[in-house]
């Protein structure tokens, strides 16, 4: 009978856990708590037109100005609104030609309302690319 403790099994290529090749190293990952779930920024992901602005010091100052102007109250008031704004919403999106640094184009929003609005706008943009169904050839009016 052997009283020595069992040695741990050596890690082999088959048992070693690896992360996907597209995942950024842990030090480079950014988690953004949106209140809806964690979103992980990937190393090779394309940046949105808005993110080039929101990463600047000017945006951070303007963001605080907008939150103070709206007294940290959500201006969207969607279903499930918490009322406490911690984000700034662009009324006209940058992708649609809105100016991201114009105070008149910005308003305070809670994470839930901002996520709901972003989802609604993304669905609308996605559906705009879809082809409209054509009527059956036998049912067309001449």
| Ranges of each domain in the chain | 47-125
Q: What predicted TM-score, i.e. pTM, was given to this entire model?
A: 0.58
Give every CB contact of residue 28 below 8 A, 6+ residues apart in sequence.
43
Rg of the chain over Cα atoms, rounded to whole angstroms, equals 24
33: pLDDT strictly greater than 60:
no
Burial of residue 70, with CB atoms counted within 10 A of its CB: 0-12 exposed, 13-18 middle, 19 or more buried:
middle
**The predicted structure's pLDDT at residue 30:** 53
SS3 114: helix
Residue pair 50/94 in contact by the 8 Å Cβ criterion:
yes
Q: State pLDDT tens for residues 62-97.
A: 999 999 999 999 999 888 899 999 999 999 988 888
Position of tokens 């009978």?
1
36: pLDDT strictly greater than 60:
no
Largest distance between two CA atoms of the chain: 94
Lowest-confidence range among 30-34, 93-97, 101-105? 30-34
Of residues 44 and 125, more confidence is placed in 125
Q: Mean pLDDT throughout 35-64?
A: 74
SS3 90: strand
């Amino acid at each position: 009978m052997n009283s020595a403790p069992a040695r741990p099994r050596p890690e082999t290529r088959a048992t070693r856990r690896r992360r996907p090749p597209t995942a950024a190293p842990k030090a480079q990952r950014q988690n953004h708590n949106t209140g809806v779930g964690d979103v992980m920024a990937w190393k090779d992901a394309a940046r949105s037109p808005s993110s080039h602005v929101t990463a600047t010091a000017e945006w951070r100052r303007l963001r605080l100005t907008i939150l103070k102007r709206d007294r940290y109250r959500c201006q969207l008031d969607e279903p499930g609104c918490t009322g406490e704004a911690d984000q700034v919403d662009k009324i006209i999106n940058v992708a649609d030609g809105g100016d991201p640094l114009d105070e008149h184009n910005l308003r305070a929003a809670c994470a839930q309302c901002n996520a709901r609005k972003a989802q609604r706008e993304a669905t609308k943009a996605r559906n705009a690319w879809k082809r409209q169904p054509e009527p059956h050839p036998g049912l067309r009016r001449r």
